[in-house]
Amino acid sequence: MWKNFVEEVTESVRKCGRTRRLVSALSTGQDEDNLEIPEISLFRPDEAFETCGDSKQSLDTEKLLSILDVNSLVEDAVSAKVMGRNKEYYGVGLWTLASFINHSCIPNARRLHVGDYAIVHASRDIKAGEEISFAYFDVLSPLEKRKEMAESWGFCCGCSRCKFESLLYVTNQEIRELEMGLERGVDAGHAVYMVEEGMKRWKVKGKDKGLLRASYWGVYDEIYNSERLMKRWGRKIPTVEVVVDSISDVSGSDERLLKMAVEGMVKKNGGCSNIVEMEKILKLGKGVYGKVVSKKKAMKTLLGLE
């Protein structure tokens, strides 16, 4: 698949000067601080801009391979993302404009692939002037794990969440002890209780609570899916709704948050729902699937709420 992909891009670059300029503008993974952002007009699909013909020019093969290595995306089929079918099918492609979107551990956008199109949509509310960002890897992970994943991508993340957690990690012995406990397999309920009580002592407030809950998502997920743990710890920790809302508010919608919200509502109300809860879930669903599933009735059916 990769070999065919490289050949297709090489041929497209050779045949069309506009395509060559678009691809040439992308990062090779080197000297990114000095990489200039091209004019947005370069990306507009305007046939009058230039008619593609055989340009008789090509990119240096080594540079092209570096560009594809850094910018190409491997994606599941939309039917796997939305309907849970055809999970064995996937593809690789290069979408030049989407390639300029940076990573953040508090992303505000997601992408969904439909045919040859990459659809970029908001995964949470975005402020005017806020940079559009993706999660290049799983951001519902602890700081150290995210650092490892960022390193594998060839960068060090400097988002506000990483800065906040790095400072907390350096100045707080309890956080380090908590992570050592998680490595030893401490009870998930006890771990969640430690995080929640710790945030009170560390004076972590507002949206910063969502950041830490996102980092320790694994233990929150485990406890909320265990009747045994909930019987023991349920009265000592926040509700599912509180945790899901706080995490999605900072890290955007995610399939796992959506699944937990739906299951929490079903368990709480025996399959019934009130308008407020339903609207929250539909908003999460819109953040995950964008306009691919835009009708409320279709979204309810997809989520098994009808």
157, containing H or E segment: none
Q: For position 89, what pLDDT does the model report? A: 59
Q: What are phi and psi of 117, to 5 degrees?
A: -100, 140
Q: For position 273, what pLDDT does the model report? A: 61
Q: For position 79, what pLDDT does the model report? A: 43
Say if pTM beats, i.e. exceeds, 0.75: yes
**Single-letter amino acid code for the residue at 78:** V
If the chain, 306 residues long, is cut into consecutive pieces of 10 residues, what is the mean pLDDT of each piece? 89 87 86 76 62 62 90 64 53 87 95 83 93 94 94 90 94 87 88 94 94 96 94 95 96 91 78 74 85 64 61
Q: For position 188, what pLDDT does the model report? A: 93
Q: For position 48, what pLDDT does the model report? A: 40
- Eight-state DSSP code of residue 238: -
| CA distances in angstroms from 32 to 60, 97, 160, listed in the order given | 19, 16, 20
The dihedral region occupied by 203, where left means phi > 0, alpha psi between -120 and 50, and beta the remainder, is: left
Q: For position 83, what pLDDT does the model report? A: 47
- Eight-state DSSP code of residue 131: P
109, containing H or E segment: strand 109-114
